[in-house]
Amino acid sequence: MKKKTPKKSGPKTSSAYIEGSGTVVETDIVTTLEENYMPYAMSVIVSRALPEIDGFKPSHRKLLYTMYKMGLLNGGRTKSANIVGQTMKLNPHGDSAIYETMVRLARGNEALLHPYVDSKGNFGKAYSRDMAYAAARYTEAKLDPISAELFADIDKDAVDMAPNYDNTTVEPTLFPVRFPSVLVNSNFGLAVSMASNICSFNLAEVCETAVSLIKNPDHNALSTLKGPDFAGGGYIVYDEAEMEKIYRTGLGAVKVRAKYSFDKDARCIEVTEIPPTTTVEAIIDKVVELVKDGKIREISDVRDETDLSGLRLAFDLKKGYDPDTVMQKLYKLTPLQDNFNCNFNVLIAGTPRVMGVYEILSEWTEFRRQCVKRRIYFDLNKKKEKLHLLLGLKKILLDIDYAIQLIRETEEEAEVVPNLMVGFGIDEPQAEYVAEIKLRHINREYILKRTEETEQLAADIAEMEDILNSPKKIDKVIIGELKDVAAKYAQPRRTMFLYDVAEDVEIEEEQPEGYPVNVFFTREGYFKQITPKSLRMSGEQKLKEQDEIIFSAEVSSNSELLFFTNKFQCYKSRCADFPEIKASVMGDFVPAKLGMDDGELPVFMAVTEKFTETLVIFFKNGKCAKIPLSSYSTKTKRKKLQNAYSELSEMVGMFVIEGEEDFILKSTAGKVIMFNTALVLAKSARDTQGVQVMRLTKAELASVQLARNVDVEDTERFRIKTIPAAGVVSDDDIDQIKLT
């Protein structure tokens, strides 16, 4: 038998089919990833998902440039379907993808602070998940006036042009934007292994900050660029340190709150502005969920009343609740307050870079300098060409008749230009220009007017060359353009700031006016809450087999419940956290309801409203602890208190008393004492052992009961006036009483 040789461990392989050969070969999986996945990943990063320094992704650029070439900057609107069809010449994606891009850029969608598309028809809403936009055949669009600032120098070689996907035309690689649009409008992109999330800023503030940084690179941007400005408005909970971090690194979180007002007559909270990261449907779903879970009881109804006038969410408030307190609770529990997580990842020369506001504005300024130089250089060459032609025309002015005679006497057309070149000492372009002059223009007046332009052209050329040679003058041109854009398109801030807002403050839940309820607690850990009316109409209490009720009382529905467990912990709850049921129902199993640990069971329940009572605990070692119930009151909404009582000795009995009470204690040796709790000093420490009340020798405390609940004559014979005391031997009547 041949011995099997163990397989050598090595790199994982994948199968690859060689086309035409009919064979499959094993290839290294790393090689497969490098050859197949990496090009795709790079394409997504560089050519699809991340914005560039002009603030646009390729899909945005292709759509807007198509609209520009269609003449939609100054003309009337056209059907969106027409725009989508034309864009396919640059964008090889389907019509739905192109139209979705157009929807987000449209004014009707309200996603951008400064929309680039002027729309007509239903374009949906950015703040609504379910409000769908109409089909492209129903809507119309054109370019918004601010789009003129994207294309101002595009026909003057300000940016590079590249062939489209089938080499039938060209498109710009970037837009020569005259303002930092990368910061003015929000942008989100999800690439492979990286993402970009840029918030929007106020146009006037961005332009002012860009100007200030050009003049002084050490300028503090926070003094002019106050913070993000979202299209949906709302409030920013201002954190200067976090804002500075975002401006320096491009990473951080902006906390945004919804804006609301309160209608006193209708008792209705009206939300009109929400954070940009959520939708009205998400807010409603969360509020409904919280109401069902019993975490919000103040709201009776929630409605989406959004109409043509704008967003409007209505929350009907129950009587007796304060709207501001309720909104603080909603801010904490729902997306009415949400974080915008900034990740300013921008493509610079084809490389993704996470940059802060300072670096982005610096990169944009450098990009704009190149655009301005290229534009001026383009104009300079045009003017030089024109000046050169006019200088040739000026020489013709010396003898127009000779020029006419020269042309008339030339027998062949091809010899006209060479003869003019020889006759007047001009070059070929000048001679071509002269030869193409119309017959009606061969007069002294026309030629004099043309040659008068030479002085102005010479001055313009000198000025342009001076600007090109002076970085300061280039910056002056950029500053002038920024101020011009701000003057034309600036608008007031939509998002305001909230300063000195206390964060992570636990909000005490408001309580409406209480009403009577009957509560029952059983030995097995079941809890019932029944209204007096229901109790009167009910029959026998339903209990688990061999279970019994150990506590029952009529209390207020606002009462708090303290459940002490066999693991020395206390779980806090409220009557309002439990449903009102009938006597025929077994009730809620408290360990499951409150999420107690495995094997943990409640052994005692205390009911209170104001925590003014006293908790008295008796232990097997004969000690008694007297603890103010206020020790279990917390300012926060803590549901679980550890070390609720001492674990040094087994607990025999717990009681909640008001004032002072007499208790009768009995030991396993058959001795009994009665004492008043005034002899025990109260201690605020929850896990205190208290003081020795009954002196025990080879015995333990067996039972304890309130003296007023013990039906025995002359209990005074057991009273002690000092503690500890050994007690007296019980007689027959006390032996018959079960003290628990």
CA dist 137 and 122 (Å) reads 11
Beta strands 299-304 and 268-273, pairing class = unpaired
CB 186 within 8 A of CB 275: no
Catalytic residue among 37, 40, 138, 165: 138
CB 63 within 8 A of CB 175: no
Would you tell me how many other CB atoms lie within 10 Å of the CB of residue 521? 23
Name which of 101, 60, 61 is nearest 80 in CA terms: 101
CA dist 259 and 271 (Å) reads 6
CB 90 within 8 A of CB 62: yes
CA dist 194 and 181 (Å) reads 22
SS (H, E, C) 151-179: CCCHHHCCCCEEECCCCCCEEECCCCCCC
Instruction: Name all contacts of 420-425 with Cβ < 8 Å and 24+ positions apart.
Output: 424/392, 424/395, 424/396, 424/398, 425/395
| Coil vs helix vs strand at 261 | strand
Beta strands 496-498 and 235-237, pairing class = parallel
**Angle of helix 357-397 relative to helix 444-468, nearest 10 degrees?**
150
Q: Distances in Å between the alpha carbon of 21 and those of 31, 36, 106, 583, 674?
A: 21, 20, 52, 81, 103
Annotated catalytic residue 138: yes
- Determine if residue 167 is left, alpha or beta; phi over 0 gives left, psi from -120 to 50 gives alpha, anything else beta: left
Would you tell me how many other CB atoms lie within 10 Å of the CB of residue 420? 25
Q: Is 670 exposed, middle or buried (0-12, 13-18, 19+ CB in 10 A)?
A: middle
Strand partners, 676: 662
Name which of 130, 100, 131 is nearest 117 in CA terms: 100
Tell me the CA end-to-end span of the chain in Å, nearest whole number: 82
Structure tokens at 446: 């026309």
Structure tokens at 359: 């670096």
CB 509 within 8 A of CB 328: no
CA dist 313 and 306 (Å) reads 7
CA dist 218 and 442 (Å) reads 61
Name which of 94, 80, 87, 93 is nearest 122 in CA terms: 80
- How many CA atoms, within 13 angstroms, populate the side-chain half-sphere of residue 661? 19
CA dist 223 and 244 (Å) reads 11
Q: Distances in Å between the alpha carbon of 526 and those of 554, 570, 599, 641?
A: 17, 16, 15, 20
| Coil vs helix vs strand at 509 | coil
Instruction: Name all contacts of 90-98 with Cβ < 8 Å and 24+ positions apart.
Output: 90/62, 90/65, 90/66, 90/164, 90/165, 90/169, 90/171, 91/58, 91/59, 91/62, 91/63, 92/165, 93/59, 95/136, 97/59, 98/59, 98/63
Q: Which residue has the tokens 């050329």?
A: 461
Active-site positions read 138
